Structure 1
Amino acid sequence: VDAIVACSSSQYLCKTIISQAGIQVQNEYNLLKASDQFPDTTSGGTLPCKKILFIPWSPNSRDPTDVKSSLSTFISTAFTLAISVGSKSIAFPAVGCGKFHFDPSIIAKDMLHETRKQLTKYKIKMNISFILLPIQQNVYDEFIKYLNQMQTVDLMVSYKNLMKKQDDQSTIAYDKKIIKITLISTNDNYLMKCKQEIIDLARIFSIKSKLTNKHDMLDWSQNTINKYYKYCLKQGVIPTLDFENVTIELIGTKDTVHEAEKYFYELTSETFKEARIHAVARNVIWSVELIPNSDQWEQYSFKLNGIIEDAFLKEYHHELPEVILAI
């Protein structure tokens, strides 16, 4: 752990931590105490941490409102100090649950609530631990109880996201679901190992696929684009259509990404079919003379035929290649 929090108001806790940390920390702590510079930090000494954060905690009364306010200050001060020294993990004591004899239910609830509040405020990833003595089974039970209750909140966070195609004002709203997993362990090594296994497992079952040179999607109408987005999102695939670089990026599980790729080709086939029907319905086929004055003609593909016919109907004659209409 990067930082251990010590309650400087608890002589018993401070004495225990300092004796374990060694003479260097003892000297640093004495200087802080002599000048009354709490809250402040010392080095980690011989303890398995980089910094020790000495922070006072002494509620004005045993009233739950005063306790909550004092714990809020205690936790927020720890975050401020930890972030200032670059810590990525903090270990907190369950203050008040020893000789102060505070209700462990109140302590656990308020400490967890403020910790979550600080993590949300700073929007950072930080490993948080609460250190308990082996004899504090009742305190452990209260922390577990409120931690489990917190898991039911924001387990699935839904919000609206908008997809846009360049300057077109059409948008597609969808719900994105985020699943949070809380791991509990008395051993940091087991905790990190389990976390890594979950990450590895997620990577095995999810992929990112990139389709390149997909010029066919330039022929898609806005309705077709919307249709594809809706299909992907319904399957749990996040699509990104880059019309400038004619690429498609798909993120999801292997099976759903594969289905999204298949659906892309199905929509492209439908687009070609519509272009063919449009050309046949008008009984118009555009051809090109292979060699000037040779009277040897080759029909354009249905796709190009549709593009040329569309331009002709819009009277964009200056964009048309030199062709002869064959009916």
Structure 2
Amino acid sequence: MSIDIRIGDLATQTVDMVVVCSTSQNLMNDICKKAGKPVADEVNAATQMGKIMSEGYETVGGKLFCQKLFFLPWTTKKLDDITLRRSIQKFFQTAIHYAVNTGRTSLAFPALGCGELNYDPSTIAEIILDETQIYANYNLQILIVLLPEKTENYKAFCFKLAELRQKKQILPEVNRSNDKLKLLGPKEEVKEAQIEFYRLKSVKAEEARIASYARVAVWLFEIENNTFEKYSLKLNALFETALEHNNEVVNFRNDNNEDCKIKLKEKIEICGNRQRRVIRRDFQIPHNWTAQSDNVLRCVLDSKDEEYTKFAGVAHGVGVYFSTDASYSHGYTSVSPTTHRRCMFLAKVLVGKAASGNSKMRTPPAGYDSTTDNNHIFVTYHDDQAYAAYLITYKSPGN
């Protein structure tokens, strides 16, 4: 992604899409006048019919150099700093996600708040540049166009952009077609960044390995009569590894720096002269679940099954799909030939902060935890974001 700050006329920018703040009457009138009567008539009609809403409204560029115009409302009044930041973030997020979903790669934005509302240009510059940096890995060219009569705004944006570039001497370039990462910058800084990258990659891989054992089973020690407490994730992974290798005893050092051992078969922990019970809680799929219909078992146990992959969703991100609309999920179920019933999970999902998704996303944008269709679909990208709380087995009318 590239960011360019320009002084000039938003209407004269040669880009795929010019984003117009539809609540700025002066800007709207100027753009529509220069785009020509057909565009002006269409925009006026859309305004009267209430079509220019928060999701935006697209028209052709008309007589302008841009291919498309995208009209998007913002605010018409002064806002406090927190609300201002959120409103600008939403404006840019909506426009950029629309551009990505429709194949636009170059966009021109107005400098929101630097005109009639007269916000502090340094504050506006910081918010806009922070928000656009979220999309650093996207193949986008973003222009911020400032009014020529306000040179202080241009200086504020240039200062903030230079500050941002100075902080980020190493720029990552991601090739999504072959999952390769290229680091751009001075030779020594790139070398240091490469070493740090591999170190962090190794740390994260080890953390993921350790955490994965806790999804299979947890080990607990008795602190008093029938009251148990979990071991740390690191020790939990150590015990599970020993169990996998059929070890009878595993030695370790506890949080109090004591040398201890566990007899795995007897489920006893020995630390010096002290002994206490330990238990292992297994989180594997219960045996009674084997009576479930074949399609549920496919979803849980074999995501590579051909029947399952027919339903793999990619429209809003390459991840695991959940819906808050049960009737929508029902459409992806099938009747078991043995039980003549359908199955679906009621899941608890950690959505966190959700961004609008598209088919090219293999991970959510920086600062987000999931992606969404902004309606009822949510896409997660990590196994521990969802928990299948209940299995619902049912018959629908006509079955």
Per the normalisation by structure 2, the TM-score is 0.39
- Greater helix share, 1 or 2? 1
Per the normalisation by structure 1, the TM-score is 0.47
The structure that has the greater radius of gyration is: 1
- Greater strand share, 1 or 2? 2
Bigger RCO (CA 8 Å, 6+ sep): 2
